[in-house]
Amino acid sequence: MVSYKKLGLVNTKKMFAKAVKGGYAIPAFNFNTMEQMQAIIQAAVETKSPVIMQVSKGARKYANPTILRYMAEGAVQYAKELGCKKPQIVLHLDHGDSYETCKSCIDSGFSSVMIDGSSLPFKENIKLTKKVVNYAHKHDVTVEAELGVLAGVEDEVSAAESHYTKPEEVVEFATKTGCDSLAISIGTSHGAYKFTAAQCTRDPKTGKLVPPPLAFDVLKAIEKKLPGFPIVLHGSSSVPQDCVDTINKFGGKLPDAVGIPEEQLRKAAKSAVCKINIDSDSRLAMTAAIRKHFAEHPDHFDPRQYLTPAREAMKEMYIHKIVKVLGSNNKL
Ligand code: G3H
Ligand code: 13P
Ligand code: ZN
């Protein structure tokens, strides 16, 4: 058993309370590689922002759970080395799909876990979430749960269409489970294709898709039922069109990739939404930089040559999100 406290990590409790009160959101960035980790920490330190580094089941499979855990421990030391005396870094399990996975993460030093029972019937979701909460709270680890289903693929949880969270269920769910935060469905979804062309209109000037607005009425109704309770938004990449255009220009093929407009995330961050999950934008920033680099330097084959601009592009993107979208800068 390794306690996250020994690794210098923190849980989300105080962080979320402060964010809800202050009208901003904490960035939750997924990481699979060293370069992503470095870029996340550089961005958080430069902007003096708390940060959640999250690990999916896929990331655990790709990078190995032990390595990721040591990378998170290294991240804390790295932040200190970069001049941040007291970094606030959370190591979070993203979309935990079972009690066993959550327990294994808690036992190996995670400070926060998500148990994603959103595909289960309501009562079973409560039962599973409560079981995870009981174990996590014994170790002062915070738990994110989910109600409502996002469109697209949620790791093992797949749903063809989005089912918004039902505001009338949230009080019973939060009370019975004792979860610390709640991921809700208000129209976001995972990946770089958040909406079909049929769900969007098209900008006649640029030819780009214009997505429909998020269901802020549902968010409002949830906030009314659970005043001050930390709300989480998954699937919140904006799918920056400059990245998409660069990828397409240099041999990629991402037609009609579309995300959540940043002004909508800005609006959400000012509400009880205190954690915003971003993964795809990091993938896009990295891919765009690498494709451009290879096109301009066909003779390069040292990974450091193309991973350096990729890391820089991700860092810039993270800083932009923190400062211009979530507002978590200078909140340490
Ligand atoms: O919610 C999904 C995250 O973007 C993680 O994706 O399972 O491909 O690592 P992944
Ligand atoms: P995006 O695919 O929009 O980046 O969402 C990431 C996410 O929700 C991770 O849990
Ligand atoms: Zn997610």
DSSP characters for 257-315?
A: -B---HHHHHHHHTTTEEEEEE-HHHHHHHHHHHHHHHHH-TT---HHHHHHHHHHHHH
Q: Is 63 in the pocket of ligand 1 (CB under 6 A)?
A: no
> How confident is residue 324, by pLDDT bands cut at 50, 70 and 90?
very high
C-alpha to C-alpha distance for 259 and 186, rounded to whole angstroms: 14
**297 pLDDT exceeds 50?**
yes
Query: Among all ligands shown, which has an atom nearest to the Cα of 153?
Result: 1
* Dihedral sign, Cα of residue 311, residue 278, residue 182, residue 149: negative
The whole-number average pLDDT for the span 37-42 is 98
The closest alpha carbon to 63, from 55, 53, 75, 54, belongs to 55
**162 pLDDT exceeds 50?**
yes
Best of 64, 155, 233 for a ligand 1 pocket test (most atoms within 8 Å of beta carbon): 155
Q: Whose CA is nearest to atom 5 of ligand 1?
A: 56
CA 301–ligand 2 middle distance (angstroms):
31
Q: Which of 94, 116, 279, 281 is catalytic?
A: 94
Question: Residue 239, by phi and psi: left (phi above 0), alpha (psi -120 to 50) or beta?
Answer: left
The whole-chain average pLDDT of the chain stands at 95
Question: Residue 182, by phi and psi: left (phi above 0), alpha (psi -120 to 50) or beta?
Answer: beta
> How confident is residue 199, by pLDDT bands cut at 50, 70 and 90?
confident
The model's pTM: 0.96
pLDDT digits (tens, 9 = 90+) for 9-38: 999 999 999 999 999 999 999 999 999 999
> How confident is residue 259, by pLDDT bands cut at 50, 70 and 90?
very high
CA 58–ligand 1 middle distance (angstroms):
6
Atom of ligand 2 nearest to the CA of 278: 4
Percent of the chain with pLDDT over 90: 93
Structure token digits, residue 142: 């915070």
Best of 233, 278, 283, 325 for a ligand 2 pocket test (most atoms within 8 Å of beta carbon): 278
Query: Among all ligands shown, which has an atom nearest to the Cα of 63?
Result: 1
Query: Among all ligands shown, which has an atom nearest to the Cα of 279?
Result: 2
Cβ contact 235:252 at 8 Å: no
Q: Which of the pair, 227 or 69, is modelled with greater confidence?
A: 227
Cβ contact 254:245 at 8 Å: no
C-alpha to C-alpha distance for 60 and 66, rounded to whole angstroms: 8
203 is catalytic: no
pLDDT at 247: 98
Question: Residue 155, by phi and psi: left (phi above 0), alpha (psi -120 to 50) or beta?
Answer: left
- Cβ burial of 280 (10 Å; 0-12, 13-18, 19+) is buried
C-alpha distance from residue 179 to each of 28, 144, 173, 176 (Å): 18, 6, 8, 8
**291 pLDDT exceeds 70?**
yes
pLDDT digits (tens, 9 = 90+) for 56-81: 999 999 999 999 999 999 999 999 99
Q: What is the CA radius of gyration of the chain?
A: 19
pLDDT digits (tens, 9 = 90+) for 105-118: 999 999 999 999 99
**158 pLDDT exceeds 60?**
no
Best of 29, 56, 280 for a ligand 2 pocket test (most atoms within 8 Å of beta carbon): 280
C-alpha to C-alpha distance for 204 and 52, rounded to whole angstroms: 38
The whole-number average pLDDT for the span 231-257 is 98
